[in-house]
């Protein structure tokens, strides 16, 4: 009697983001990212009212630069902490610092106290942002990385659409304090959802503190102070602005390379280029984003609301691009999505620059900005995925912090320099807008030329 072969067992489908073991972690992580984004955007809307209420206009700049500096330090500390102890402790400490800062800021009766709260809050945000990346690397299977980072991108985009309006309503009807005090009501439950899954992602035993950790903290302090000076200097005018920005740039040139991957300045293959592309893309997009509303209002007569709607098209397109990259088949080359994204950013921003000319319809610029937003959606999640792919388990924290540091420092530098250029004269001229938009397009084009270097040199076979 001939034996018949048993039918092959069906292959289990890959788990989704909302599979039973990942569902709570996915909901909590996306909610937490969305809250971090909302708070970052809402404070900008509320701060003019806060400064008037607390008679604190003199500390207005440090209310933004302080938390930025604290965030730089926290990102480095969180990366070291995650690699040696796992992401659970940085996540919980980040939540405590974040909530404590919000409570201090929301209950402040003087601008100085509010600044302290903002600095504490910024430190917590930095701890949380890096810990979330490490959680993705350790808790989610590799085939889901593109999708979860797409969800994170959408969690940033949605607050950019509704955050300022919601914050304005809160300030008008509930008071500015609730812009700070309402967020912990959701942040704490979000981390509680993540917590059960954290038990499976920390190392079984504590590992030694990474070599050079103390030195990295020192360089992070220098970079943080330089970033704060850069932010404050970008809001000044005249000689004080030039002095502060110059000191800040020198500090960043000395400190930042020591916090980023070796080979970053020469665009070394693999991770150094991945971090560099994230910074170039951020600088290009943010540099254009701050110019567009001013250009449309001054040169084309747009109202603030209409100019804001133009920016909304870019945010929506960003969300679409993130959704697409999470559902497209995995490309054969790691460089494909970064190249596509940077090409869209460079081309779209160049098209926006054309609308400085009165003969070019504004609709052309709107479409160009949508293309640039699409490019950011294709690029950002793909670079986050590449960072984890190129990181050993004990290096995910350090490399995730490098990725986010490059993003933040590049954007801050371009914002300060753009502000200085636009404030140099009595009123910006059409050439100033065209020039800054062209520089933004050029930064993305430089990234496009370097994108092939995200692929490391294959190791020789032994």
Angle, helices 292-299/362-389, rounded to nearest 10 degrees: 180
Domains 18-210 and 263-455 share a fold: yes
Q: How many residues does the chain have?
A: 462
User: What's the CA gap between 162 and 181, in Å, rounded?
Assistant: 18
**CATH match of 18-210 with 1.20.1250.20:** yes
Closest listed residue to residue 274, CA positions, set 405, 154, 81: 405
Q: How confident is the model at residue 142 (pLDDT cuts 50, 70, 90)?
A: confident
Residues 165, 169, 175: CA angle, nearest 5 degrees: 135
pLDDT at 2 over 60: no
pLDDT at 444 over 90: yes
User: What's the CA gap between 151 and 156, in Å, rounded?
Assistant: 9
Q: For 218-247, write each residue's pLDDT tens digit.
A: 988 998 888 888 877 766 676 777 788 888
Using the 8-state DSSP alphabet, how is residue 205 labeled? S
Closest listed residue to residue 368, CA positions, set 380, 382, 355, 358: 355
Q: For 45-76, write each residue's pLDDT tens digit.
A: 788 888 888 888 777 777 877 888 888 899 99
- CATH top class, domain 263-455: mainly alpha
Distances (CA, A) of 212 to 76, 175, 218: 12, 46, 10
User: What's the CA gap between 370 and 386, in Å, rounded?
Assistant: 25
What is the Cβ-side half-sphere exposure of residue 69, based on CA atoms within 13 angstroms? 27
Look over the chain and give the mean of its residue pLDDT values, rounded to a whole number. 84
What are the start-end ranges of the H helices in 140-212? Answer: 145-173, 177-181, 184-198
pLDDT at 284 over 90: yes
Higher-confidence residue of 74 and 154: namely: 74
**Residue ranges of the domains in the chain?**
18-210, 263-455
pLDDT at 12 over 70: no
Predicted local confidence at residue 1, as pLDDT: 47
pLDDT at 383 over 90: yes
pLDDT at 85 over 90: no
Secondary-structure percent of the chain, ordered helix, strand, coil, rounded to 5: 75, 0, 25
Whole-model pTM: value is 0.84
pLDDT at 9 over 70: no
User: What's the CA gap between 66 and 71, in Å, rounded?
Assistant: 9
Distances (CA, A) of 180 to 99, 106, 253, 420, 456: 9, 5, 34, 30, 44
Closest listed residue to residue 106, CA positions, set 183, 52, 44: 183
Using the 8-state DSSP alphabet, how is residue 235 labeled? T
User: What's the CA gap between 270 and 337, in Å, rounded?
Assistant: 15
User: What's the CA gap between 413 and 426, in Å, rounded?
Assistant: 23
Q: Which of 4-13, 371-380, 415-424 has the lowest mean pLDDT?
A: 4-13
Q: How confident is the model at residue 11 (pLDDT cuts 50, 70, 90)?
A: very low
Q: For 313-356, write each residue's pLDDT tens digit.
A: 888 899 899 988 888 887 888 889 999 999 999 999 999 999 88
């Amino acid at each position: 009697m001939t034996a018949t072969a048993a039918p092959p067992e069906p292959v289990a489908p890959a788990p989704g983001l909302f599979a039973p073991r990942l569902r709570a972690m996915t909901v909590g992580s996306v909610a937490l990212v969305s809250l971090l984004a909302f708070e970052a955007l809402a404070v900008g809307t509320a701060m003019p009212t806060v400064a008037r209420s607390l008679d604190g206009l003199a500390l207005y700049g440090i209310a933004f630069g302080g938390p930025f500096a604290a965030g730089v330090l926290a990102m480095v500390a969180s990366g070291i902490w995650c690699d040696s102890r796992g992401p659970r402790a940085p996540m919980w400490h980040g939540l405590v610092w974040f909530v404590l800062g919000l409570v201090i800021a929301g209950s402040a009766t003087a601008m100085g106290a509010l600044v302290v709260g903002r600095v504490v809050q910024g430190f917590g945000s930095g701890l949380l942002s890096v810990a979330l990346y490490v959680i993705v690397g350790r808790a989610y299977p590799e085939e889901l990385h593109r999708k979860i980072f797409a969800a994170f991108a959408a969690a940033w985009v949605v607050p950019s659409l509704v955050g300022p309006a919601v914050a304005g309503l809160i300030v008008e009807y509930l008071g500015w304090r609730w812009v700070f005090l309402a967020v912990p009501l959701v942040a704490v439950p979000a981390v509680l959802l993540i917590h059960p899954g954290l038990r499976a992602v920390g190392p079984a035993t504590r590992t030694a503190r990474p070599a050079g950790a103390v030195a990295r903290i020192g360089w992070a302090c220098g970079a943080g102070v330089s970033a704060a000076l850069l932010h404050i200097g970008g809001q000044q005018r005249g000689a004080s602005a030039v002095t502060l920005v110059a000191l800040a740039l020198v500090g960043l040139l000395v400190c930042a390379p020591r916090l980023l991957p070796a080979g970053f300045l020469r665009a070394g293959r693999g991770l150094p280029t991945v971090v560099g592309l994230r910074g170039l893309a951020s600088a290009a997009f943010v540099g254009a984003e701050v110019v567009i509303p001013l250009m449309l209002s001054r040169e084309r007569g747009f109202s603030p609301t209409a100019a804001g709607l133009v920016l909304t098209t870019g945010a929506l397109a960003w969300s679409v691009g993130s959704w697409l990259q999470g559902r497209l088949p995995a490309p054969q080359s790691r460089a494909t999505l970064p190249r596509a994204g940077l090409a869209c950013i460079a081309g779209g921003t160049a098209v926006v620059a054309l609308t400085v000319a009165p003969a070019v319809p504004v609709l052309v610029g709107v479409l160009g900005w949508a293309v640039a937003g699409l490019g950011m959606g294709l690029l950002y999640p793909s670079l986050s995925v590449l960072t984890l792919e190129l990181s050993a388990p004990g290096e995910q924290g350090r490399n995730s912090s490098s990725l986010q540091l490059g993003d933040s420092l590049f954007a801050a530098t371009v914002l300060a320099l753009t502000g200085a250029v636009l404030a140099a004269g009595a009123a910006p001229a059409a050439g100033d807008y065209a020039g800054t938009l062209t520089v933004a397009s050029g930064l993305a084009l430089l990234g496009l030329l370097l994108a092939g270097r995200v692929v490391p040199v294959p190791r020789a076979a032994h």
